[in-house]
Amino acid sequence: MTVQTMLTSLIQAFGTTLFIFFFTLLGALPLGLLVNACRKSRFAPLSWLTKIYISIMRGTPLMLQLMVVYFGPSLLLGITVPGNWRSTAVVLAFVINYAAYFAEIYRGGIESIPIGQYEAAQVLGYSRLQTYFKIILPQMVKRVLPPVTNEVITLVKDTSLASVIGVVEMFTRAKQIAVAPHSPGMITFLAAAIFYYVFNYAVAFGMERLEKALDYYE
């Protein structure tokens, strides 16, 4: 296998990595807000169920969660899921896992906002929803960007876990190429490392620019 063929194969598999990454963020970031709202609910059963969910997601390996989501419908419920269930199961498992982490990050950001902000909003006649979306949420977003950035960078690397249920993303393809006869060997892993590094650098750069754009909330 030539180096050009190897790079072409890695680029194609990198598309799967990007698919997992973007759809996980698309689902997990807003779901984290909902989970955080449920956790802070005044309805005790909902709050406790949410705390249990967060505890399970943070206390068990993502690899195990991938296997439960993928094999669960058939082994536990006897349901055969139609279509490309592997890719859907990967995204679903990643979303419910990362939403739990984002929910806790959001909670920390919201609780760091002084109580005076809520009191001032009440004096001005704001409703609870208006206070949350116009005053609390913008400040919370700026405060949580650094820890969210760390989770997003971790997500880039965690996409390699998709191989546990047979989804071939970039790192899995790199391993397949490396063990093939007449392959470039270690050059394949070096190329994969460069892909990951460049992508993580782009993510960190973008998040840093976003953080600077929100400086006016000081």
What is the structure's pLDDT at 216? 57
Distances 4 to 10, 133, 183, 187 between C-alpha atoms, Å: 10, 50, 11, 12
Secondary structure of residue 86 in the 3-state scheme: helix
Beta strands in the chain (DSSP E): none
Share of the chain above pLDDT 90, in %: 46
C-alpha–C-alpha distance, residues 154 and 172, integer Å: 17
Distances 80 to 75, 84, 125, 187 between C-alpha atoms, Å: 9, 11, 53, 41
Question: What spatial distance separates the first Cα and last Cα of the chain, rounded to whole Å?
Answer: 55
Radius of gyration of the CA atoms of the chain, in A? 21
Average confidence (pLDDT) over 116-134:
80
What are the structural domains of the chain?
3-217 (1.10.3720.10)
pLDDT of 45 over the 60 cut: yes
pLDDT of 160 over the 80 cut: yes
Give the closest residue to 188 by CA, choosing from 7, 12, 62: 7
Give the closest residue to 164 by CA, choosing from 99, 42, 48, 71: 71
Residues 4-27: tens digit of each pLDDT: 788 888 888 899 999 999 999 999
Q: Which of 31-35, 60-64, 85-89, 116-120 has the lowest mean pLDDT?
A: 116-120
165 neighbors 66 (Cβ within 8 angstroms): yes
pLDDT of 77 over the 80 cut: no
* Residue 83 confidence class, pLDDT cut points 50, 70, 90: low
Phi, psi of 133 (to 5 degrees): -80, -30
Write the CB contacts of 98 (distance below 8 Å, at least 6 apart in sequence): 24, 25, 28, 32, 151, 155
What is the structure's pLDDT at 211? 82
What is the structure's pLDDT at 111? 87
What is the structure's pLDDT at 213? 80
Average pLDDT, the chain: 87
